[in-house]
Amino acid sequence: MFLPIHKFLVALGLTISAFNALAQAEWPNRPIKWVVPFAPGGPTDAISRVLSLRLAESLGQAVTVDNRAGASGAIGSELVARAAPDGYTIVFGTQSTHASNLVFFPNMAFDPIRDFQPLTLVGSSCLALIVPPGVSATTPRELVEFIARQDGAASYGTAAAGSSQHVAAELLLRSSKVKAIHVPYKGSGAAIPDLLGGRLTFMFDNLPSSLPLARSGKVRALAQTCAKRSPAAPDLPTMVEAGFKDFVIEGWYGVFAPAKTPRAITERLSAEINKALRHPDSLERWKSLGFDPIGSTPEVLGERQRGDLEYWRRMIDFTGVKVE
């Protein structure tokens, strides 16, 4: 005997709801993919590997880091935007991948805000202005003078076109009326070897990856872009202290899941990542990386994400940064 169609649909809906509830109750029951939209070796990769290890311990499931570099972080981010919203694929995003890329790439195949569910604001970090040992400058002003003497042949690297590193470098050049060649890479880790080899004149890189290099003498750090000196680098002057008025650039890191991820899974992931941030072993690692952890609710990350858009629109307009 067949059920009337309306009763069949009600029964089907109840069955699906029950199945989804059961799946969420059992989450996680298989490995989780943690996507990093940049190449290995940079700060997003280093921070992700610490957090993914702690998260795996607390959830009792493997959390594998998957580096998907390219297109200013869009390749890895789109992979997660298109993934099933079941809590098994998440992405470690940045201010550029999940905010300012909307300004640079208005016709992207996905929306960095609409297509993601924020989980937690992991932390913030500013940039350090670094040069290889072969560049004699010891201050930002001396670097500007060095660049001027190169007659347009100086160069700088970035993690990607349109990144905060790109904007910072152009802010330095435009405010000083000097020129240098932009060389974009697929992540900071890919740019550093060329800087160490003297093939780049300077670079603005995240503190987490710059400080270990500066401490080992492989590069010289000239200044940081924080509003005030980071606790991780109390002896490094800010760009404002170095004489560059209003030169403040601070980025952020956050973890995102695909949009429509069930609330129960979203809240569990957010809580577990926040716990991983504050694990004693993690806190020790943050000190060495020069990373300032925050931790937040999904709502706070969403507000930061949307609020940054207007700031970066103004900054990008002033520097004239474009992504071809």
Angstrom distances, CA of residue 33 to CA of 48, 52, 64, 90: 11, 9, 5, 6
Is the pLDDT score of 214 beyond 90? yes
More confident residue, 23 or 220: 220
* Per-residue pLDDT tens digits for 11-27: 445 444 444 444 456 89
Determine the pLDDT at residue 25: 62
Give the global pTM.
0.78
H/E stretch holding 289:
helix 280-289
CATH architecture, domain 5-125+251-319: 3-Layer(aba) Sandwich (3.40)
Domain ranges of the chain: 5-125+251-319, 126-224
Determine the pLDDT at residue 162: 82
Is the pLDDT score of 71 beyond 80? yes
Determine the pLDDT at residue 6: 53
The mean pLDDT value for 299-321 works out to 88
Q: What is the CATH number of domain 126-224?
A: 3.40.190.10
Interatomic CA distance for residues 78 and 62, integer angstroms:
22
* Per-residue pLDDT tens digits for 243-257: 999 999 988 999 999
Determine the pLDDT at residue 19: 42
Contacts of 108 (CB under 8 A, 6+ apart): 74, 78, 101, 102
Lowest-confidence range among 95-109, 168-182, 205-219? 95-109
Determine the pLDDT at residue 22: 44
Determine the pLDDT at residue 298: 98
Are 5-125+251-319 and 126-224 the same fold in CATH?
A: yes
Residue with the two structure tokens 């660049």: 147
